[in-house]
Amino acid sequence: QVRVASEGINGTVGGSKVATSLYIEIMLSQPLFKDILSREDFKSSAGGAHCFPDLRVGVFKEIVPMGIDPKMVSYKETGIHLSPQEFHREVEQYLSQASQGQSNTILLDCRNFYESKIGHFQGCLAPDIRKFSYFPSYVDENLELFKDKRVLMYCTGGIRCEKGSAYLRSKAVCREVYQLKGGIHKYLEEFPDGFYRGKLFVFDDRYAICSNEDIISACRYCGTLWDQYKFCSSQHCRQLVLTCPSCCNKGLTACCPLCQEKELKVTSRASGQTLKEECECTRRRPRVPIERVLQRTLDAGK
Strand pairing of 196-201 and 208-210? Answer: antiparallel
Q: Which of 51, 110, 124, 155 is catalytic?
A: 155
Q: How many Cα atoms within 13 Å fall on the side-chain side of residue 41?
A: 16
- Edge to edge, the sheet with strand 8-11 lists 8-11, 2-5, 57-59
Any idea how long the chain is?
A: 302
Active site residue 124: no
In eight-state DSSP terms, residue 87 is H
What are residue 296's DSSP bridge partners?
none
Terminal-to-terminal C-alpha distance of the chain: 39
Q: For residue 297, which of 149, 125, 154 has the smallest C-alpha distance?
A: 125
Q: Are 112 and 132 in contact (CB under 8 A)?
A: yes
Q: For residue 64, which of 51, 55, 53, 73 has the smallest C-alpha distance?
A: 73
Which uninterrupted H or E stretch holds 11? strand 8-11
Amino acid at 135: F
Q: State the Cα–Cα distance between residues 196 and 199, nearest whole angstrom.
A: 9
Q: State the Cα–Cα distance between residues 91 and 123, nearest whole angstrom.
A: 9
Q: Are 257 and 280 in contact (CB under 8 A)?
A: yes
DSSP 191-229: -TTSSEEEEEE-SSTT-EEESS-----B-TTT--B---E
Q: What three-state secondary structure class fits 43?
A: coil
Residues labelled catalytic: 155
